[in-house]
A and B are shown apart, each in its own frame.
Chain A
């Protein structure tokens, strides 16, 4: 098991190299000159030329990339082109905000998705099942910026219970987390339901029932544990996805997270910030995936035995 984890961590190196290389290439070959963007439309052309030279933008592409990798290994991701801050401290200041939002969002999604999925599966084709499946369909299809705006209208403007934007207090998390969690909850509900439906038709469930085990125990102990394996994958993926893809929600709620920082940086062609954010997100995503795989081993003895071989 330890060997396996170590191997997976080593794999992170080529992943990060690949990701940064692709992003660096895209940033370099898309139109727009960072020096011009930094100085604005009224800057004299000589100043732009000079700044380009100072920033090393005139060097060949591969030289620029290797310089970035060299510095990154030393832990130096440089300073943002636009704010002149060290990009890593900027990301560290914002990443906890994104993490807490994603964590609460996923917690909400799990809290709704798994129980609703189980109930739907055990009462297939009942009214409850239909209602929750319609709900899940709505949850998946609803654009989350729209949901966010509706929540603001009801809970901030209408009732005045919750703050409309920003991260002022713990209360601020509620609306954006619900906005984020709704889509994930819908996906988890559907996944739990179909996975449960498959499991409860298995022979060992019939055996358990034949033994006279109570229905509650059959569902919660024998069926759920086996049905959870694919659900864990989905939860892990959703968590990773929310860490990187919460841009719309962050914008609607003016949430000071990494997603918005990244989009802003892309618009400004702020390559150091973009690269550092991408490295950060890729690393977290890989870690979440690794955690999911480790969790598998705990849930499914078959997988665990593979590791120990």
Chain B
């Protein structure tokens, strides 16, 4: 009996020890947490599908991080939800000559640590971006930043660069505080200091990030006191969280749950366009895809409307150009390839592939892309093309398509700056073959010239003309199959007012309030 008692005592001691140890790491529920009581509700709880990686805007460029950083930081130039460029931390700017821009920094803007925003912070931030491999490509056109006085900087570009303002509105070009960055050193990503409407409070890794209203925000304090970003991996769980009232806003409602949210008496579904485009790439340097007729035949043989209905539940718009309607200089006059299997067969015959051929289509394990691959496989079978689907792990997918080992592949592109340079240059300029973006290995000298012209011209009309022409040639050359422009959605409580979707995917909650 004594031994038995001893055993039970040891067992309970272990359990207690485990509990105590675990309790050390978890905080009791904070006071003032939302209790569901509408009268005192000033905490906005937002769920997204992944945790942020870093809140250092220059250390990462992923969507979950940007969505949080957007609330903490500001950029020199801001893009509105209609993709208009308006003054941000730069009150005004003017172009001195083709490669020189002068920016006047807003006076009296405070960082969360109490420091005032100075031109030196702007220079520090841009130099820091240029040194960061993750975001340098966004500001690579910049040659130097010169501080004139506390509130004026001169930015010089290496060559004339039309989309500069659009690039300076990207969340990756957020302005940081020199002192805060230097003090935090390598841990800055977990201790961010910005000028935005919300300041950082805490981050429970893998669980949630808490932000608090910054009362000295230069546009005036935000409506809600606290913003919590929760990491809810499963899409369906985000809908459940809305239904139970524990979430106020949930990003990326699954297609299957959309109706459920839209028809719920207490919830609303907010939908809007995004800047993303999905396409099926073809290796233009490899037989038979080096034959324009074959590429066109494939374009005619794929029914994009079917894909949008079956795979996306209608949450997409058929693409007529590599850049979407929200992107500057989008060419509305272009017609997408219509589904016409008879014409496709004819083109294949002309190209000398009357009996079709065998090929492969690559995709990563993204479920949407897997389903698209299956539909494409079935539709190409109709015109005699035998397609084998090969799913690849994401890392090797990027690596091998960059090397040009593929036949066909499915990928997307997000023109985050809403400027055609970002959406066309990397994907279609012949200098960008492979990992830089042009995984079609497409080459057309005329397109190269037009894209260079659009990049270096400053006059918006000239740029528009060059880009419209470039889109026309690209669509006619059919280096790939353009599928659709994605739409994005957010589910929210009906009591949430003033939430606006930003096409770039990171939405500011500065104007959000509760009814």
Residues of A within 8 A of B (CB): 30-34, 36-45, 47-48, 50-51, 79, 82-85, 90, 92-97, 99-100, 102-104, 107, 149, 152-153, 156-157, 160, 163-169, 221, 224-225, 228, 251-252, 254, 256-257, 260-261, 267, 269, 291, 295, 298-299, 301
- Nearest opposing residue in chain B for A41, CB measure: B398
Stretch binding the partner chain, chosen from B227-235, B269-277, B308-316 = B227-235
The 10 closest A-B pairs by CB, nearest first: A32-B395, A96-B25, A100-B22, A31-B396, A256-B206, A256-B207, A103-B18, A45-B435, A169-B29, A96-B22
Q: For the complex formed, measure the closest distance between the CB of A14 and the CB atoms of chain B, giving whole angstroms.
A: 26
Q: In angstroms, how far is the closest chain A Cβ from the Cβ of B94?
A: 30
Task: Say if the beta carbon of B375 comes within 8 Å of chain A.
Answer: no
Q: If A50-B133, A96-B22, A160-B244 touch, does A168 touch B29 (CB 8 Å cutoff)?
A: yes
| B241 and A48 contacting across the interface, CB-CB below 8 Å | no
A46 to B115, CA, bound (A): 37
Contacting residues, chain B, for A39 (C-beta < 8 A): 133-134
Q: Is the CB of B237 within 8 A of A254?
A: yes
Q: Is B234 in contact with A254, judged by CB distance below 8 angstroms?
A: yes
Specify the chain A residue showing the minimal Cβ separation from B138. A42
For chain B, the count of residues having a C-beta within 8 Å of the partner chain is: 67
A and B contact pairs by CB, cutoff 8 A, 24 listed = A32-B395, A36-B399, A40-B134, A43-B137, A44-B436, A45-B402, A45-B436, A82-B53, A84-B189, A93-B204, A94-B206, A100-B26, A102-B18, A152-B237, A156-B244, A165-B240, A166-B232, A167-B26, A252-B234, A254-B234, A256-B205, A267-B394, A295-B11, A299-B3
Bound-complex Cα distance A123 to B267 (A): 53
| Cα A102 to Cα B26 with chains together (Å) | 15
Q: Are B186 and A84 in contact (CB under 8 A)?
A: yes
Q: How far is the CA of A269 from the CA of B134 in the complex (A)?
A: 17
CB contact between B206 and one of A79, A156, A261, A269 (< 8 Å): that residue: A261
Given contacts A32-B395, A96-B25, A99-B18, contact A84 B54 (CB under 8 A): yes
Residues of A near B420 (CB, < 8 A) are none
B243 on the interface (CB 8 Å rule)? yes
A299–B134 CA distance with the chains assembled, in angstroms: 58
Give the CA-CA distance A149 to B234 in the complex, in Å: 11
Report the Cα distance A117→B411, complex, angstroms: 55
B260 to chain A, nearest CB (A): 11
The reply to whether the CB of B473 lies closer than 8 angstroms to some CB of chain A is no
Among residues of A, the one whose C-beta sits closest to the C-beta of B240 is A164
Contact A32–B399 (Cβ < 8 Å): yes
| B39 in contact (CB, < 8 A) | no
Query: A51 — which chain B residues lie within 8 A by C-beta?
Result: 133
B15-42 vs A, Cβ < 8 Å mask (1 yes, 0 no): 1001101111110110001000000000
- In-complex Cβ contact of B19 among A93, A100, A252, A298 (8 A): A100
Kindly state whether residue B426 has any CB partner on chain A within 8 Å. yes
CA distance A166 to B241 in the complex (A): 10
Determine the chain A residues whose CB is within 8 A of the CB of B61 once the complex forms: 40
A50's nearest neighbour on chain B, judged by CB, is: B133
Given contact pairs A41-B398, A295-B10, enumerate 11 new A-B contacts (beta carbons under 8 Å). Answer: A31-B393, A41-B411, A45-B436, A85-B187, A85-B205, A94-B206, A100-B26, A156-B240, A165-B241, A166-B208, A167-B207
CB distance from B30 to the nearest CB of A (A): 10
Bound: A44/B436 CA distance, A:
5
Interface positions, chain B 49-76, Cβ under 8 Å from A, are 53-54, 56, 59-62
The residues of A that contact B62 with a CB separation of less than 8 Å are: 40
Judge whether B358 is part of the interface by a CB distance below 8 angstroms: no
Asked if B1 is at the interface (CB within 8 A of a chain A CB), the reply is yes
Contacts of B133 in A (CB 8 A): 39, 43, 47, 50-51
